[in-house]
Amino acid sequence: EVQLVQSGAEVKKAGESLEISCKGSGFTFTRNWIGWVRQMPGKGLELMGVIYPGDSETRYSPSFQGQVTISADKSTNTAYLQWNSLKASDTAMYYCAIVQPAGGWFDPWGQGTQVTVSS
């Protein structure tokens, strides 16, 4: 079964650093793009960026360039989303998902990681 399992909920303070993870199984991790999607409370979906673990090519959506770092570890089939200095506005649910190459749809999705940042 193709599956993405994300790390657990995080509660942090503004200014702290954070890395959340997304572990893939049931598919060839290095041959699929993995995307990270933000959903702020009560809001819609925003693609933050994507990574191709095979060669670590990473593309960021303009709004998120310089705000986060996306990386992947081929040896553990895990993608990461990292912040160096969190802001209260980073409070959101974060999802990872496989980007299907044939047409760019996202499937399947991880279960989500809630990040709460207090000021």
Binding site for other proteins (CB under 8 A): 35, 37, 43-47, 59, 61-62, 95, 97, 99-100, 102-112
Dist CA 87 CA 14 (whole Å) = 5
Q: Find the shortest distance in angstroms from Cβ 110 to other proteins.
A: 7
Q: Find the shortest distance in angstroms from Cβ 15 to other proteins.
A: 29
Q: Find the shortest distance in angstroms from Cβ 39 to other proteins.
A: 8
Q: Find the shortest distance in angstroms from Cβ 44 to other proteins.
A: 4
**Cα 55 → chain centroid:** 17
Dist CA 100 CA 110 (whole Å) = 14
Backbone dihedral region for residue 62 (phi beyond 0: left; psi -120 to 50: alpha; all else: beta): alpha
β-pair type (3-6, 57-60): unpaired
CB of 106 within 8 A of CB of 100?
yes
